[in-house]
Chain A
Amino acid sequence: MSTVKRTWVVNGERWTVDLPPGRRLLDALRNDLGLKGTKEGCGEGECGACTVLLNGEPVTSCLIAAGQVPDGAEIMTVEGLEKTEGGRILQEAYIERGAAQCGFCIPGMIMSSFALLSKTRTPDDAEIREAHAGNICRCTGYEKIIEAVKLAANRWPEK
């Protein structure tokens, strides 16, 4: 099987991988890079558990052929959150509002929160719900997650 070489910036660090181009980005992150924070839920792009940010935009990593992620792409996973001020604020807000129960959806959910707040400083309820529409949570009923995002929005750094 022929492989392709790609160099990405993952959570601020340069990584070079050599992989079959059809390998799922999810598997590349978890197995080639050892970043096990990103979870596989449905594996069909429905549940959003595998959400990562690709050049700042949320994507379901289970549906992306890693070879299609070009050299120089910036990828942020849940492990990258604590390296940013906004990410730390979001983590604290999720904890304070009790936004996680079983926690399986959270590594994806919180990436959608981060993508939203990076662009929209004061999202209203509808915007928060829409930004998380691609993330399914079977425990919380979403209310606490929405409250956590609102709390984080209030504390979001100026720039």
Chain B
Amino acid sequence: MRTVEDIEIRFPGSLAEALAWQADEKTRGRPLAGGTDLMVQWESGVAAIPERAVSLWGLKELKGIRETPRGIEIGAMTTHTELRSSPLVREKLPALAAAAATVGGRQIQNRGTIAGNVANASPAGDLAPTLLITDGLATAASASGRRDIPLAKLFTGYRKLDVRADELLVSFTLPALPAGAREKFHKIGTRAAQAISKVMGACRVRVQNGTIVSLAVSLGSVAPVPVRLPELEQWIAGRRVDLNLLEEVERRASAEVHPIDDIRSTATYRKWVSGRLVRALLEA
């Protein structure tokens, strides 16, 4: 039986070299970041052992967090530890910083990357909802150029992304929290630490004089892909925050999602807790 030791892992010296390999089917390899998902999938037999992998871990071009006119740009190989400890991310993308701090323990946070979490495209990926609420974009590169993909269109199906085989995710550009808005992330798991989520979600909300100006809310693990709740978002704009509103939010959020039963939870529980979770996100 083939094992991880049979994978020909290649180590490009630059992003350009990696992209050149990925352009040709004969040299293309499975993109490998920190390995916290892929090594588990390969070792447990959940995913087939590939012929080749391309290690992106050490590529300098894929590291770093910086502010740009379009938003906070985060390199693909930025780790969860870097996300949770970056002053820029903590201030301007607080839900992302909070989510990164709940993924695994320190050991996983030190190796798991933002692009790895996204590219794994698990419905239970904790970072995705915090990215979706920013209306930001992902950038994919290939040997022939770069392409921006709105995050709303990135996740196309269960473990599927709108990224071609010759492309690599290189960065995420996420508009910063606007003045007067706040963000929150919350996750429901079996235990407080080191849990894979049953349901998780994030919101970015702007409230003025007790009235909701705008809401972006996203949930994970309630569908094959992380979702926004457009019906709730549209309905809530312009409404006053009070107990009645929160009751109605809970009902509507629960009604808008259609989760399934799986090893981590049941559809019934997920539907119920989705309502509770969105309500909790809105409660200041």
A positions within 8 Å CB-CB of B? 1-2, 4, 20-24, 43-46, 48, 51, 54, 57-60, 62-65, 67-68, 70, 112, 115, 129-136
Contact = CB atoms under 8 A, between A and B. Distances in A.
B57 A68 contact: yes
Contact of A134 (B3, B58, B108): B108
Given A45-B36, A65-B9, A136-B194, 4 more contacts: A21-B11, A51-B107, A133-B105, A133-B106
Contact of B106 (A20, A22, A131): A131
Nearest to A51: B107
A23 B58 contact: no
Interface in B1-21: 3-9, 11
Interface of B: 3-9, 11, 32, 34-36, 39-40, 43-44, 53, 55, 57-58, 81, 104-108, 110-111, 193-194
A134 B5 contact: no
B107 A60 contact: yes
Given A51-B107, A59-B111, A62-B39, A22 B4 contact: yes
5 contacts: A22-B53, A45-B40, A48-B107, A68-B58, A133-B194
B166 to A, nearest CB: 22
Given A24-B4, A133-B194, A67 B107 contact: no
A106 to B, nearest CB: 15
Q: 10 nearest interchain CB pairs?
A: A134-B105, A133-B193, A21-B9, A22-B4, A20-B5, A22-B7, A63-B39, A60-B107, A133-B105, A134-B107
A24 B43 CA distance: 10
A120 to B, nearest CB: 12
Contact of A48 (B5, B11, B105): B105
B41 to A, nearest CB: 10
Nearest to B79: A57
A21 B7 contact: yes
A80 to B, nearest CB: 17
A45 B108 contact: yes
B36 A22 contact: no
A65 B108 contact: no
Contact of A65 (B32, B44, B194): B32
